[in-house]
Structure 1
Amino acid sequence: MSVTEFAMVEELAFLVKDNLRCKHLVLSMEETFLNFLQDDSSHFDGILELQPMDAYNRLLLHRLADIFGFSHVSIGEGANRHLILERCPETSMYVCEPT
């Protein structure tokens, strides 16, 4: 993991550190992102469209998408605004090996 990638993870951890609901969102979406990356059969187009959510939760998931290297954009208006993620060559999973 590069210094920039580590800084992104650190920033996301800071944003959710005192908010249990946000921690749960990030952890559950991290699992969703991992499943999306591992399951080529159900997502053959490489696109994942998320449910509508408020601006702060979208911000958190934009940050998480950056960490995974997804291309991402918010679309829709008001209560229907949501993220669309797309796999790209930079998309990957980081596995930390024990030292």
Structure 2
Amino acid sequence: MSLTQFSMVEELAYLVKDNLPCKHLVLSMEDMLVHFLQNETSLNGVLELEPMNPYNRLLLHRLADIFGFSHQSIGEGDDRHIVLKRCEDTSMSV
């Protein structure tokens, strides 16, 4: 794990420190991302997540950074959600 990845992991841990629902979200999304990376065989490697509130999107953007996904939020209001795309830096070695 690089120093940058370590810093990102520390930041994410701090953001969810005393918030059990957010911890659960991050851990379940981490499992989903690992599963996606192990099983996604299509060339585009795109994963579109469900709409969620701004704070949860922030957490998942941080998680996407740790895994090395390209990511962006799209949509408006209650339909705003994250789209992740596998890229050459995407890895499970965090």
Find runs of 4+ consecutive structure 1 residues off by over 4 angstroms. none
Q: Which amino acid aligns with 1:49?
A: E
Gaps (5+ residues) in structure 1?
none
Q: Which amino acid aligns with 1:35?
A: H
- 1:15-43 Cα distance to aligned partner (Å, 9 max, x none): 001000000000000001001100034x5
Aligned partners of 2:83, 2:4: CA distance in 1, in Å?
A: 23
TM-score for the superposition, normalised by structure 2: 0.96
Q: Which structure has the larger Rg?
A: 1
SS at match of 2:88: coil
Which residue is equivalent to 1:50?
49
Aligned partners of 2:40, 2:47: CA distance in 1, in Å?
A: 12
Greater relative contact order (CA < 8 Å, ≥ 6 in sequence):
2
Gaps (5+ residues) in structure 2?
none
CA shift, 1:44, in A, is 4.6
Identity level (%): 69
1:16 aligns with 2:16: yes
Aligned partners of 2:9, 2:86: CA distance in 1, in Å?
A: 19
Aligned partners of 2:46, 2:32: CA distance in 1, in Å?
A: 13
SS at match of 2:93: coil
What does residue range 55-66 of structure 1 map to in structure 2 within 5 Å?
A: 55-66=54-65
TM-score for the superposition, normalised by structure 1: 0.91
